[in-house]
Chain A
């Protein structure tokens, strides 16, 4: 082979050779992720008017304004409750569901397909459908309660009654998170070698013992990944709350994500909203770093 010698001056593993191939992807990532992140941090340190005009360096002024906001504490606590309750309920429900759809029964394919539907459908649209089902007078939910005789007297206005509205949001978030989580756990179950399970059964282990002693420990990686991805998705969750309550009444159902959006694009309170944006970004960054560490660890094991 008489390839031109000039090509060999660069070591073959130089990143320069890689750039024509990975360059476009890098450019897109810089434009869509890196630039907005830097811009957000820059603006959070700048004085900014409600119209978005910049008026010079402001130090931590925007952060001071944010932390002086009397509503922030309640919203931060609610965000923690939101993330923890949605993620833990999702995992707890998905574990047995994955086990169930891993069994052999006629029509299993169709059950799995049915479970994909909430994953594939737009979250805003699913939220609006639930809004209709929870409607005070015409909703499926109150109708069913009534027919089952579980409702005495006044029907409940699930979305406007402050005692229930937040739980309704939690439930819808769990509903749309279960399919992905179940399928990740199912993939974990399917990767368990049959012979290990069979060996245990030959030794007389019951199905619960097999699950506790063999399957569950082997699901560790799948569970870890599902938990971390859900933590991020649920923290970032915007359409459910926006479509159903807009964080209202007042700020009663806001999380830090919807609150930042509301300040920026509804109240035009730009300064503190950018500061909150950075706080949110930092939180996600932290989980992403944990994720990268965990996945690196599991990759190295393999």
Chain B
């Protein structure tokens, strides 16, 4: 897909103009992570400092214990378990349905190919939010209210478009001749796919996996509507249980969001290069 060109290390020379550019860029970068830095500081404050007046930005006594105590303050373990199971299963389901579809679409011209691709593209545009009443009734019809299975299927359905479009681009980039040569040499179709095509398309697969995982991890509306028992909540809806009737245990709320946010941010950053391509596939080329 991309040929790696070794970038020449050009020595960077500071000029006032370049310094101004760099400094404004750093400030903007800081601006966009500041809320999350604030979250980390708050998560390390003792309870008494939360509403101290005058309030301070940094914790006066750093309460690293918050990250240990939070596990007994709320069923975080259960929330995380639910999120991991639902996200992993939705990701596997997306791979199972999108890899064959993307491969076939990249390799074959058939009647209905165009409409199929447009249908897939359209599903990427529909978020479950607008259809939530219909989704709720369908899930109820199948007797799957309050189950992870329903969450898995809905999340997989709305995220398959990204994988199909991104992967078909990767598959199309593998020259047919290489694959045919492998077939002539006695590889089965499946073997050719595994030995020749998959290694080249690995970055695409990793991107599809991470994107689906993170999107499902962060999904809110469907989980809010379908999951009613508190023991089955994923973390995205589970955190709202900290906002209690009387007050909010902000320090524990934020230890939890930190635990939920940091891993997916790292995952997302690792696929930066391919994100835009997958989301605007078929348009910006």
Q: Is the CB of B164 within 8 A of A25?
A: yes
Give the complex CA separation of A198 and B50 in angstroms.
55
Binary contact readout A198-234 vs B (1 if CB under 8 angstroms, 0 otherwise)? 0000000000000000000000011001000100110
B284 at the interface (CB under 8 A from A): yes
From A130, which residue of chain B is reached at the shortest CB distance?
A: B35
Binary contact readout B39-79 vs A (1 if CB under 8 angstroms, 0 otherwise)? 10010000000111111010000000000000000000000
Most chain B CB inside 10 Å of its own CB: which residue of A14, A101, A222, A295: A295
In angstroms, how far is the closest chain A Cβ from the Cβ of B170?
Answer: 16
Q: Is the CB of B126 within 8 A of A284?
A: yes
Choice from A115, A137, A299 contacting B28 with Cβ under 8 Å: A115
We find that the number of chain A residues with CB closer than 8 angstroms to chain B is: 104
Binary contact readout A29-47 vs B (1 if CB under 8 angstroms, 0 otherwise)? 1011101111110010000
A3: B residues at CB distance < 8 A: none
Choice from B52, B111, B129, B154 contacting A238 with Cβ under 8 Å: B129
Choice from A108, A112, A129, A257 contacting B254 with Cβ under 8 Å: A129
Q: Which of A1-54 contact B (CB under 8 A)?
A: 12-15, 17-18, 20-22, 24-29, 31-33, 35-40, 43, 52
A66: B residues at CB distance < 8 A: none
Interface SS of B by simple majority:
helix
Q: Is the CB of B137 within 8 A of A43?
A: yes
Given contacts A284-B126, A292-B122, contact A22 B101 (CB under 8 A): yes
Give the complex CA separation of A294 and B280 in angstroms.
12
Q: Is the CB of B108 within 8 A of A18?
A: yes
Q: Is the CB of B284 within 8 A of A225?
A: yes
Q: Is the CB of A39 within 8 A of B39?
A: no
A14: B residues at CB distance < 8 A: 110-111
In angstroms, how far is the closest chain B Cβ from the Cβ of A143?
Answer: 6
Given contacts A37-B134, A129-B35, A221-B284, contact A284 B55 (CB under 8 A): no
Interface residues on B, range: 35 or more
Q: Is the CB of B29 within 8 A of A125?
A: no
Binary contact readout B129-149 vs A (1 if CB under 8 angstroms, 0 otherwise)? 111111111101000000000
Give the complex CA separation of A227 and B261 in angstroms.
27
Q: Is the CB of B138 within 8 A of A17?
A: no
A236 at the interface (CB under 8 A from B): yes
A113: B residues at CB distance < 8 A: 29, 269, 272
Q: Is the CB of B276 within 8 A of A121?
A: no
Give the complex CA separation of A37 and B131 in angstroms.
6
Most chain A CB inside 10 Å of its own CB: which residue of B29, B103, B105, B257: B29
Q: Is the CB of B123 within 8 A of A125?
A: no
Known: A32-B135, A33-B157, A178-B32. 10 other contacts (CB 8 A): A17-B110, A28-B153, A37-B134, A39-B138, A114-B30, A125-B260, A132-B254, A261-B221, A277-B130, A288-B126
* A–B Cβ pairs within 8 angstroms, 9 of them: A18-B110, A24-B96, A33-B122, A33-B157, A105-B12, A119-B268, A122-B218, A140-B57, A184-B276
Interface set of A (CB-CB < 8 Å, partner B) = 12-15, 17-18, 20-22, 24-29, 31-33, 35-40, 43, 52, 97, 100-101, 103-108, 110-126, 128-130, 132-133, 137-140, 143, 175, 178-180, 183-184, 186-188, 191, 221-222, 225, 229, 232-233, 236-239, 242-243, 257, 260-261, 264-265, 273-274, 277, 280-281, 284, 287-288, 291-292, 294-295, 298-299, 302
